[in-house]
Amino acid sequence: MRKRTLPLAVLATAALGLTACAGGGSGSGDVSADGQTLTVWIMQGTNPDSEAFFKEVGSAFKKETGATLKVEYVQWADAHDRFVTSIAGNTTPDVAETGTTWTAEFADAGALAPIGDYVDKAGLKDDLVKGLADSGTYDGELYGMPWYAGVRSIVYRTDVFEELGLKAPTTWQEIIDAGTAIKAAKPDMIPFPVPGDAEFTAYPWVWGAGGEVSELDGDTWKSGLASDDSRKGIQFWTDLATKYDLSSSGATTWKETDVLDNFVQDKVAMAIMGSWTPATIVQKNPELEGKFAAIPIPGEDGGMSPSVLGGSHLSMFNTSKNKDLAFQFIEMMTTGKFASEWAEQTGYFPGQTSLLSDSTESDDPLVKPFAEQFVDGGASLPVTPKFGAVQAKKTTNAMIQAILSGSKSVDQATTDAAKEMDDIMNGK
Amino acid sequence: MTTHAPAPTAARRPAEGPGTDRSTKPQVPMHRKASGRKIRSNTVKAILVTLLLVFTLFPAYWMLSSAFDAQASSGGQSFFPKELSFTNFESVLTDGGFAVFLRNSAIVAGATVLISAAVALLASVAVARFRFKFRTAVLLMILVVQMVPLEALVIPLFVQIRDLQLLNTLLGLIIVYVALALPFGIWMLRGFVAAVPVELEEAAFLDGASWWRMFRSIMLPLVAPGLVATSVFSFITAWNEFIFAMTLLGGSTENYTVAIGLKQFFGLNSNDWGSVMAASTIITIPVMIFFILVQRRLSGGLVSGAVKG
Amino acid sequence: MSTLTPPTVTREAPASRVAGGPSPKRLRLLMRTRPWLLLAPALLILAVLLLWPLIRVVLFSLQDYGLREIVSGDTNFNGGANYAEVFADPTLWTVVLPNTVFFAAAAVIGTVVLGTLVALLMANLGSFWRTIVGSAIMVAWAMPAVTGTYVWVWIFDADRGIVNQTLMGLGLMDEPFNWFTNQFTFYGIALLNVIHHGFPFVAITVLAGLLGVSKEMLEAAEMDGAGAFRRFFQITFPSLRQVFSVVIILSTIWDFKVFAQIYLMPGGSGSNREVLNLGVWSYVESFGQNRYGFGSAIAVLLTLVLLGITIVYIRALMKEDEL
C-alpha cells in the first residue's frame, strides 16, 4: 500500500504546484480557481448561436482561470419569476444577465453585489456607455456591468419613399407630410402606426418636446407627463392617429411585437422600432432586404428626440462565493474580443464606447442611424424599482391607449397618468 | 338481457322506450313512421355533429395552417398556408428540443394519471361508502387546492419542494400534479362508487371472491366511465400545466415538459409563430391519442359474468 | 328487491359474516378507521405538498412582503394593511369584480349548457362517430390556452382577421373595427375562447355520467314496470346531479380565476383599464410589482370567496344524504 500512495502523493503535490503557477492568466484580475464552477444565467434567444459562443467563452475562461463555466439559458418570459424563486430558495447563480430595468430592482432588494470597485480597478470606468451605466447604477453604486444594448429609432421603407419621391423626415411636420402623402398613394399601407401598448414609442416625443417623464424633487418623484411640453409631444404623437389618420384601428392595442409583425408583412411604411429588428425583419421576410433603412427620431424642428436605451447588464449576485472570479467572467464578456463578437452576432451594440466606433463610422443605413441615436440621443428612464412598478401597471400605455381609443382627451389622460405615476413612485 | 349496443339512454328520447304505451298513438304503418323518424333524427344528428365539428375545429384549423406554413413567422394569419412545408415541425423537434420534452411530458402525465386514479379511487371509496365525521369538511378541503391562485403559491411551494429535495426532478412535479388532479377525481368517482350496489359486492364475498376479484369484476367496470373522465382530466392537467413546471424544474432543461418548451418561442421582441403553432400541434396530438385509447371504456361497463351472481 | 332510488350510502356491519371473522368490537373499530386509512394517501399528498405553503401564503398576506424581504429572509408584518388596501381600491369594485363575476357567470352557463348538449349528442351516436367527435373535442381541450387565445385574437384582428375581412367584404363594415377596445366585445371574444376551451371538460364528464348510470338498475326498474320518465328522473338524473355539481363547482372556480386568456389579449395586460378582471388586476397590482404580501392577501380573499360560493352550491345542488 505504501508504495502506491507515495507516487500518488507526489503527483498530487506536483499538480497543485503547477496549477498554482498557472493561475496568473492574462486577465487583469489574477484568479486561480481550479476546480471551481461559475454558474451563469443568460437569456435565451438574444443570440441564435449562443451555444457555440459560450463554448468558446468556456474554454477561454477555463484556460485563464481554471474554473469551469456553467451556463444556464433562461427564457425571457419567465426570467423574472425564476430570479425571484431562486432568491427565495437560495439557488441563485453567480452571475446573471439582468435586463436594464431589473438591475435596479434587484440591487434595491439587496440581491446584487456592487461592482464599482472592480470596474475602477480594471480601469474600465470611463469606457462605459453612459445610458447603460446609468441604468446599472443604484443609490450611487454600480451593480450592473453594461453588456449590450439597443435603441429605438424610426425604421422606414426606402422603396416606398423613393417611389413617391419623398425624403426621410427630419422634423415632426415632415413626418406628418410624408405620412399623408403615403396614405393618399398607398391606401392599404399604414403610414405610421401609433401602438397603444408600447410605452417606449411614446417617450421620445415627450422628451423631444422638452418634457420629462418623472424627476426627483428632493425626496419626492414628480411626473412631468402633464406639463405643457409633454402634452405637446403626446398630442403630436397621438394626433398622427386621431387627427391625421396615419395609423390603424388595430394599432390601438398593438405591442411592439405587433408593429414588427405588420412591418414584416409589408403593411407599414414608417415605425418606431428597435435596432435589433432589422435582422429579424429580413429573417422573417427576405424580400424586404435592402428596402428599408433607419433614421434617428427627429426632434420637433430638427435634431434628434431622445430614445430609451434598452439592453442588458451582467450582474453579480451577493450570494456568489467567489466574487473575484465572477468579475473576471464579467470583464471577459463585456470587453474586448467577446464583447465585439456578441454584439456582432446579436445585432446589438456593446456596452463599451471604445467598441462603438465601428458602428458609428459604418455606412450601413441600418447601423449608422441607430448608432447615432445610441450615442447622441440615448436616454434612460428613472432608475428605481418604483418605476418598474409603474411599468408593471402600464401607466403610460394606458394613457396612450385611452387617448387613441377616444375614451380620454390628451389633457385628461396625461393628468390621470401623472397622478398615478406619482402615487406609485412615492409609495401609496 | 343485457345490451351492449350504445342504446340511447332514457334521457334523450323517452317516448321511444319500450315501456311506452303505444296503444294511444294514431294508426300509421309502424315501419314507415319509424324509418321516417329515424331518417329525420339521423339528419338532425348529422347537422349537429357537423356544426359541432366546425365550431370545435375552427381555431385548430388556424393552428394547423400556420404550423404547416414555412412563412408563418411573417404573421401567421392566412387562411391557406403560404408555403406548405414541414420545416416548422422539423425545427421544433430538433432545435426546439421537443423530442425530449415529449418524453418528459409523457412520463409525467402517465404517472400522474396512474397515481391519481389509484389514490382518488381509494379516497372516493372512503367518502362514498362510509359515513364519518368531517366527511363534508374533507370534501371541501380537497377542493381548496383548486381555489388558491397558483401565482400566490409559487414561492412557498418552491421552497417546500426544495426542502423535500425534489427540485429539478420529474417526481416532484408528478406529486404536485396528482394533488391538482385529486379534487376532481375524488368528487367524480364517489358518485360512481356510491352507485355500485352494496348487495353486489356482498354477493361476491358470499361466493368466496377475494376483495381484489370483487373489485376487478364488479366495481371496476361500473366505475370505468368515471375513471375515464378522471384520467383524461389528470392527463390534460399534467400535460398542459406551465407555472409549476417552470418553477420546479428551473434549470434542468433535460427535464422540461412540453408546456415549458412552448414558451421558448415567445421571445422578448418577436414571436416565432410558425414554431409556436407547430409545437402546439405536437402538444395536442398525444392527448387525442390518449383519449382514443381510453374512451372505449366510456361505453359503460358491464363485463359479462358480473351480474350473474 | 326493487330499488328505484339510488342505493343509500351507509355501510352497516355486513349482514353475513365469514366464519371466524373479527369480533363485533374489533369490526366497529375497523369500520371507524378504515375510511381514514383509505383517505390517507390523498390527504398525505395534499398536506405535505400544500399545507405548509398555504400557511406561508397566509403569513405573507399579513406582511409587506417584497423582494427585499425575500432576499433578507426578514419578516415585515403590517397586520391587515394588505387586506384593507384590497377593499379600499375603487377599481376593484367598479371594474374588476363586475367584469369577473359577469364573465364567470356567462362562461359557466355557456360551458355547462354547451357541454351537456354535446354529451347528450355523443351519447346518442354510434361508437365510430362518438370517437370522432370525442377526439375533435379533445383538440379543443388540449390546445394550449396560450395558443388558443392567440388564434382567437387573430380571428378577430382588426386589420387582417377573418371576421373583419368577411364583414368588410360583405359591406357590413366600412372601417376596420378594433374588437378589443370595447369592454363588451372584448369579453365576448374572451367568452368564445373560454367556452371553446372549457366545454369539452363538461362534455366528457357528463357523458361519463350518462353512460355510467347503472344499466342493471335501469333494466331492473324497467322490469319492475317503471316508465321511461320515471327511470330518468329516479335513476339517471340523481347520478347526473352529482356529476353536475362537481362540473359546475370546478368551472366556477376556474372561470373566476381566468388569467392568461385575458392577459394575452390586446389591451388585456393592463393598458386597457376597462377590461381588467380579477386575475389580471391582482397580477398587475401585486406580483408584477414584486408585492408578494399584497398578492397573497388577494389570493386568500379569493380562496375564501370561492369556498363560500362552493358551499352555497353544495347546499343548493345536493341533498344531505348525497353528500
Is B291 in contact with C138 (Cβ distance < 8 A)?
Answer: yes
Cell for B117? 386514479
Task: Kindly report, residue by residue over B134-156, the tens digit of the pLDDT.
Answer: 888 888 888 888 899 888 888 88
A64: DSSP letter? H
Check if the beta carbon of residue B179 is closer than 8 Å to that of residue C50: yes
Distance, in angstroms, between A405 CA and closest chain C CA? 7
Nearest to C9 among B8, B183, B194 (CB): B194
Q: How far is A409 from A212, CA to CA, in rounded Å?
A: 20
CB-side neighbour CA atoms (13 Å) of A165: 1
For the segment B13-37, the average pLDDT, to the nearest whole number, is 52
A273: DSSP letter? E
Distance, in angstroms, between B117 CA and closest chain C CA? 11
Distance, in angstroms, between A197 CA and closest chain C CA? 6
Task: Kindly report, residue by residue over C59-100, the tens digit of the pLDDT.
Answer: 999 999 988 888 888 888 988 899 999 999 999 999 999 999
pLDDT value for A292: 95
A225, B226, B276: which is closest to C148 by C-alpha?
Answer: B276
Q: Which of A90, A253, A387, A425 to mutate to test the interface with C (most CBs of C within 10 A)?
A: A253
Which ranges constitute the DSSP H helices of chain C?
24-46, 52-61, 67-72, 81-88, 90-91, 97-123, 127-142, 145-155, 162-169, 183-212, 215-223, 228-231, 237-256, 260-263, 278-285, 292-317
Which of these ranges, A280-284, B108-112, B197-201, C44-48, has the smallest mean pLDDT? B197-201
A54, A34, A10, A42: which is closest to A341 by C-alpha?
Answer: A54
User: Given a cut of 70, is residue B308 above it in pLDDT?
Assistant: no
Sign of CA dihedral A126, A132, A134, A138: negative
Nearest to A109 among C67, C157, C180 (CB): C67
Q: How many CB pairs under 8 A join B and C?
A: 347
Distance, in angstroms, between A132 CA and closest chain C CA? 23
* Chain B interface includes A88 (CB < 8 A): yes
pLDDT value for B194: 82
pLDDT value for A110: 92
Cell for A408? 380620454
Indicate the domain borders of chain B: 93-299
CA angle B173, B179, B181 (to 5 degrees): 100
Pairing of strands A214-217, A220-223: antiparallel
Confidence of residue C148 (pLDDT cuts 50, 70, 90): very high
Q: What is the dihedral of CA A264, A269, A271, A273, to 10 degrees?
A: 40
Q: Specify the residue for cell string 405587433.
A: A258
pLDDT value for C22: 59
Cell for C37? 386509512
CA C263 from centre of chain = 19
H/E segment holding residue A402: helix A395-404
Is B247 in contact with A81 (Cβ distance < 8 A)?
Answer: yes
Q: How far is A117 from C122, CA to CA, in rounded Å?
A: 72
Which residue ranges of chain A lie beneath pLDDT 50? 1-29
Nearest to A89 among B71, B158, B263 (CB): B158
pLDDT value for C75: 86
Indicate the domain borders of chain C: 90-285
Q: How far is A127 from A198, CA to CA, in rounded Å?
A: 31
Check if the beta carbon of residue B152 is closer than 8 Å to that of residue B243: no
Radius of gyration over alpha carbons of chain A, in Å? 24
- Residues of A within 8 A of C189 (CB-CB) are none
C45, C208, C91, B125: which is closest to A428 by C-alpha?
Answer: C91
Q: Domains of chain A (ranges plus CATH)? A: 17-150+310-360 (3.40.190.10), 152-307+381-425 (3.40.190.10)
B93-299 — its CATH code? 1.10.3720.10
H/E segment holding residue B171: helix B170-195
Check if the beta carbon of residue B293 is closer than 8 Å to that of residue B188: no
Please give the C-alpha separations between residue A361 and each of A293, A338, A357, A367, A369, in angstroms, as whole numbers: 16, 20, 6, 9, 10
* Chain A interface includes B167 (CB < 8 A): yes
Cell for B110? 402517465
pLDDT value for A206: 95
Nearest to C214 among B48, B183, B222 (CB): B222
Q: Which of B3, B147, B241 to mutate to test the interface with C (most CBs of C within 10 A)?
A: B147
User: Given a cut of 80, is residue C235 above it in pLDDT?
Assistant: no
Helix H, strand E, coil C: the string for A195-262 is CCCCHHHCHHHHHHCCCCCEEEECCEEEECCCCHHHHHHHHHHHHHHHCCCCCCCHHHHCCHHHHHHH
- Residues of C within 8 A of B159 (CB-CB) are 53, 56
The SS3 assignment for A156 reads strand
Nearest to C236 among B9, B52, B148 (CB): B9
Cell for A170? 427630419
DSSP string, C228-290: HHHHIIIIIHHHHHHHHHHHHHHHHHHHHT--HHHHTSTTTTTT-GGG--HHHHHHHHTGGGT
* Chain B interface includes A24 (CB < 8 A): no
Cell for A400? 396612450
- Residues of B within 8 A of C211 (CB-CB) are 9, 225, 298-300
Is A257 in contact with B159 (Cβ distance < 8 A)?
Answer: no
Nearest to B206 among C16, C42, C222 (CB): C16
Is A277 in contact with B270 (Cβ distance < 8 A)?
Answer: yes
Q: What is the dihedral of CA B275, B276, B277, B281, to 10 degrees?
A: 90
* Chain B interface includes A257 (CB < 8 A): yes
Is C72 in contact with A394 (Cβ distance < 8 A)?
Answer: no
Burial class from Cβ neighbours inside 10 Å (0-12, 13-18, 19+) for residue B209 reads middle
Task: Kindly report, residue by residue over C155-166, the tens digit of the pLDDT.
Answer: 999 888 889 988
Nearest to B74 among A88, A91, A284 (CB): A284
- Residues of B within 8 A of A74 (CB-CB) are 251
Amino acid at A228: D
Distance, in angstroms, between B74 CA and closest chain A CA? 5
User: Given a cut of 50, is residue B30 above it in pLDDT?
Assistant: yes
- Residues of B within 8 A of C32 (CB-CB) are 132
- Residues of A within 8 A of C85 (CB-CB) are 428
Is B140 in contact with C311 (Cβ distance < 8 A)?
Answer: yes
- Residues of A within 8 A of B264 (CB-CB) are 44-45, 75
* Chain B interface includes A364 (CB < 8 A): no
Which of these ranges, B56-60, C22-26, C306-310, has the smallest mean pLDDT? C22-26
List of E strands, A237-388: 270-274, 292-295, 307-316, 349-350, 378-379
B295: DSSP letter? G
Cell for A300? 420637433
Return residues 87-116 of B near C (CB < 8 Å): none
What is the pTM assigned to this prediction? 0.85
Q: How far is A307 from B159, CA to CA, in rounded Å?
A: 41
For the segment C267-288, the average pLDDT, to the nearest whole number, is 91
Task: Kindly report, residue by residue over B63-98, the tens digit of the pLDDT.
Answer: 998 888 887 765 546 677 778 888 889 989 988 889
- Residues of C within 8 A of A193 (CB-CB) are none
pLDDT value for B33: 62
pLDDT value for C301: 93
Q: Which of C211, C213, C284 to mutate to test the interface with B (most CBs of B within 10 A)?
A: C211
For the segment B264-285, the average pLDDT, to the nearest whole number, is 88
Confidence of residue B298 (pLDDT cuts 50, 70, 90): low
Average pLDDT score over chain B: 80
Q: Specify the residue for cell string 445610458.
A: A131
C130, C248, C235, C207: which is closest to B226 by C-alpha?
Answer: C207
Tell me the CATH architecture of domain C90-285.
Orthogonal Bundle (1.10)
Check if the beta carbon of residue C42 is closer than 8 Å to that of residue B124: no
Contacts of residue A314, Cβ cutoff 8 Å, sequence gap at least 6: A95, A96, A97, A98, A144, A145, A147, A330, A333, A334
